[in-house]
Amino acid sequence: MTNSTVQIVNQNIKNYRIANGLTQEKLADLCNISRDYISEIERGKKFPSLKRLFVIAEAMGIEAYKLLM
């Protein structure tokens, strides 16, 4: 995956989270992961696995492919 794709996914996670009125804490709870991990994803420090990407998308009520666009 290219660096720009990683940045797009990380930014989309943040944008969809905010658009859905979710805090990092609430999204983390819905995904059964830590708030710190969500923060690291959004800041580009971490990239979620494919499985985790689907979990995050489902928690936000969107299809996972939307995080890639």
Domain CATH code at residue 59: 1.10.260.40
| Domain count across the chain | 1
Radius of gyration for the alpha carbons in the chain, expressed in angstroms and rounded: 11
Query: For the segment 28-67, what is each residue's pLDDT rounded down to a tens digit?
Result: 999 999 999 999 999 999 999 999 999 999 999 999 999 9
Cα 68 versus chain centre, distance: 11
Rounded to two decimals, the pTM is: 0.92
What is the residue range of 8's domain?
3-68
Q: What's 62's DSSP letter?
A: S
